[in-house]
Amino acid sequence: MAPITQLSQLDPNGTYSYADYLTWRLEESVELIKGKIMAMSPAPSRKHQSVSLNLSVSLGNHFKHKHCNVYVAPFDVKLYDRRKSLLKDREVFSVVQPDLCVICDKEKLTEQGCDGAPDWIIEILSPGNSQRELRLKFQLYRESAVTEYWIVHPYEQTLYQFVLDQNQKYQLHAMHPGDEIATPYLFPDLQIDLNDVFAE
């Protein structure tokens, strides 16, 4: 079988697994959400890159020499229903590349990325991917038991902080404008100055 090197070779209505994903040699970056292909933005905007870098520096400095690890995109995160045990690649139908994620369970780390839900995921919205982050990924992260999920709006300069409650539903823990200090629910000793995050 010829290698998959172009998105046009794949069926947009097909259902694919992580095992399929590993065989592709695409120039474009894609994610799988419940088996469906999601093409990612060709290149993040300068504003997106600036916010990502500023957050990376803040998180990297905080978690240096600590138990948890910080990863930035591109970094594969395999997700599946939290009630299931570790699944084989052909049984996993969601793989995403969050802008940033924090993982404290080192047993989830593999050479390919993260096998299961990170503790904390941060997604930075771009004009072309807002609907996906707000709807599909929100549901996926909740079902996969990502404890804390931040959605960052670079152009609005706002941050929405969601935390999984005892009923496995996301609750809006805080909404921060760009001139406030944001503190992760999971890591209360970390304070992030959003003035610095949104600075050009």
Residue 132 has pLDDT above 90, yes or no: no
In percent, how much of the chain has pLDDT > 70? 94
Encode pLDDT of 22-63 as tens digits: 999 998 889 999 999 988 877 778 899 999 999 999 999 999
Residue 129 has pLDDT above 90, yes or no: no
Alpha helices (H) in the chain, listed in sequence order: 18-23, 46-63, 130-131, 138-143, 194-197
Residue 168 included in any domain: yes
In percent, how much of the chain has pLDDT > 90? 78
pLDDT in the model for residue 130: 61
Domain that holds residue 31: 7-39
pLDDT-derived band at 110 (thresholds 50, 70, 90) equals very high
Residue 2 included in any domain: no
13 lies in the same domain as 70: no
136 lies in the same domain as 164: yes
**Distance in angstroms (rounded) separating the CA atoms of residues 55 and 50:** 9
61-70, 83-92, 165-174, range with the lowest pLDDT: 83-92
Look-up: residue for tokens 């909404």?
175
**Distance in angstroms (rounded) separating the CA atoms of residues 125 and 47:** 10
Tell me how crowded residue 60 is: count the other CB atoms within 10 A of its CB.
12
SS3 122: strand
Q: Report the domain count for the chain.
A: 2
Residue 118 included in any domain: yes
156 lies in the same domain as 70: yes
118 lies in the same domain as 168: yes
Residue 1 included in any domain: no
Mean per-residue pLDDT of the chain: 91
61 lies in the same domain as 17: no
pLDDT in the model for residue 96: 96
**Distance in angstroms (rounded) separating the CA atoms of residues 82 and 117:** 8
pLDDT in the model for residue 80: 82
Of residues 129 and 109, more confidently modeled: 109
SS3 118: coil
Residue 12 has pLDDT above 60, yes or no: yes
β-bridge pairing 100-103 and 120-124: antiparallel
118 lies in the same domain as 191: yes
Residue 163 included in any domain: yes
170 lies in the same domain as 83: yes
pLDDT average, residue stretch 59-84: 90
pLDDT in the model for residue 186: 98
24 lies in the same domain as 53: no
Q: Which two tokens stand for residue 173?
A: 């823990």
26 lies in the same domain as 104: no
Residue 110 included in any domain: yes
Nearest Cα neighbor of 69 from 113, 133, 112, 31 is 113
Q: Which two tokens stand for residue 1?
A: 């079988």
DSSP-derived secondary structure for 27-73? SS-EEEETTEEEEPPSS--HHHHHHHHHHHHHHHHHHTTSSSEEEES
pLDDT-derived band at 90 (thresholds 50, 70, 90) equals confident
pLDDT in the model for residue 82: 59
The CATH number that applies at residue 187 is: 3.90.1570.10
Residue 85 has pLDDT above 60, yes or no: no
pLDDT in the model for residue 116: 93
